[in-house]
Amino acid sequence: MDFGDVPAWAALVVAVVAAELSRRAHKISTRNVAAAERAAEAAERSTAAAENALALQQQDAAVRQAAEAEAARPKVRLRIDFAGKHNYRLRNWGDATADNVVNAEPCGAVDAWPTGLTLRPSEAHHFMIAGDFDDLEPAQIHVKWDGQGEPVVLPVP
């Protein structure tokens, strides 16, 4: 190659410029790939967070629906009312029927209740509480009914 050959020198300059442009393009492309990878990872994290949030919302909605269904379900609410002297009434103030109501801890001062006692809403069962020295009048009566596993404590007025 002759140093006086202008096209050769021009070709050399073009080759050097092309190599530099190629190097810069490769550097930019590498940065873009890294940025794209970071963006993809961020998108995956965002998707996972959105899925977790949706699952929590669905779980919360299910719990809320179950609580609303339980609140709307008819319930038995028993209460003892004083009827005068030694007479009392066991009344169902709820909106569900109480089947097989039993005195879970009977004592001698409380009249025995009939087997299979059923109290519909607003119905009452009359009974007597008459204590003596052996059997004192109870301050409360423990009752159970079908569907109520644990005895419910009802205060005696």
Q: From residue 55, how far is each of 39, 47, 88, 153 by CA, in Å?
A: 24, 12, 53, 40
pLDDT at 147 over 60: yes
CB contact at 8 A, 96 and 74: yes
- The pLDDT mean for the chain works out to 85
Which pLDDT score is estimated for 3? 62
Which pLDDT score is estimated for 143? 92
Residue appearing with tokens 């492309």: 29
Is 64 in a helix, a strand, or coil? helix
Is 127 in a helix, a strand, or coil? strand
Residues 6+ apart with CB under 8 A from 21: none
State pLDDT tens for residues 104-130: 888 877 888 888 899 999 999 998 888
Domain ranges in the chain?
1-73, 78-155
* Mean pLDDT along residues 19-33: 79
